[in-house]
Amino acid sequence: MSHTIIAPSILAADFANLQRDIEMVNNSEADWFHLDVMDGVFVPNISFGMPVIKSIAAHAKKPLDVHLMIIDPDRYIKAFADLGANVLSVHFEACTHLHRTLQGIKAEGMQAGVAINPHTNVSLLEDIINDIDLVCMMSVNPGFGGQSFIENTYKKVKQLRKIIEANGAKTKIEIDGGVTNKNAKQLVDAGADVLVAGSYVFGASNPTQTIKDLKKNSTIVL
């Protein structure tokens, strides 16, 4: 049996009841916390930054998967390591020297992730795939929660899975945006290892059960 990692996106949580929502994730079948950091420059939205992540880290009992949607992310690698990030993803489109940035993330003891926008071809990762711990494949345009899933993602997951296998890499594929129980199984069948879900989880009447269902439906019986 192969279990898919489920990472609820805190962007869709109720910030006035953040501790309650963190405890819900702690006590659920979810595996990671997905934290979206937006700078209002790389994406047309601003989310939350260091003080909020510090508070989340104080209560979270599962790994922190931080998705940086910011320009020049090298400036903050150490700060996110100090906050307790376990996986740190930078955007391919925001890095001039991606290889150096990934080495910098690993040097701080974190897993190095690369996020790619819907228009970015997965073949651009081929020469660096062995240095990437996780590819955060955007299945919506980054910047907002609650958007519709882009169907072309299935094709990209299959292409990326081939590149990973051809290079003997251990890279995980994470899907971010518009994930629901309607597309979860198909994404995992295409080769996804991690599913991020924000509005689908926190907008549900029973988020704990929704996570449980996502986990169950994305389990592959080998």
Ligand X SMILES: O=C(CO)[C@@H](O)[C@H](O)COP(=O)(O)O
- Residue numbers in the known binding site for a divalent metal cation are 34, 36, 67, 176
**Residue 192 touches which of ligand X, Fe ion, none (Cβ within 5-8 Å per kind):** none
The token pair that represents 149 in the structure block: 């899933």
**Residue 156 touches which of ligand X, Fe ion, none (Cβ within 5-8 Å per kind):** none
Q: How far is the CB of 198 from ligand X (least distance, A)?
A: 3
By CB under 5 A, tell whether 67 contacts Fe ion: yes
Q: How far is the CB of 18 from ligand X (least distance, A)?
A: 15
Which residue in the list 21, 31, 36, 133 is annotated as catalytic?
36
Instruction: For the beta carbon of residue 4, count every other beta carbon within 10 angstroms.
Output: 22
d(CA 197, CA 208): 12
Q: How far is the CB of 219 from ligand X (least distance, A)?
A: 20
Helix then strand then coil, in percent of the chain rounded to 5, is 45, 20, 35
Instruction: For the beta carbon of residue 62, count every other beta carbon within 10 angstroms.
Output: 16
Which residue in the list 21, 31, 65, 176 is annotated as catalytic?
176
d(CA 98, CA 94): 9
d(CA 140, CA 50): 25
d(CA 63, CA 34): 9
Letters for 22-41 (x = contact with Fe ion by CB under 5 A, - = none) are: --------------x-----
Q: Which residues are annotated as a binding site for substrate?
A: 9, 67, 143-146, 176-178, 198-199
d(CA 108, CA 77): 8
* DSSP H or E run through 119: none
- Closest residue to ligand X in the complex (CB): 198
Q: Contact residues for ligand X (CB under 6 A)?
A: 9, 11-12, 34, 36, 67, 140, 142-147, 176-179, 196-200
Q: Binder to Fe ion among 176, 183, 195, 214 (CB under 5 A)? A: 176
Annotation says 176 is catalytic: yes
Q: DSSP secondary-structure letter at 46? A: B
Annotation says 131 is catalytic: no
Query: Which residues are marked as active site?
Result: 36, 176
Give the residues lining the site for Fe ion (CB under 5 A).
36, 67, 176
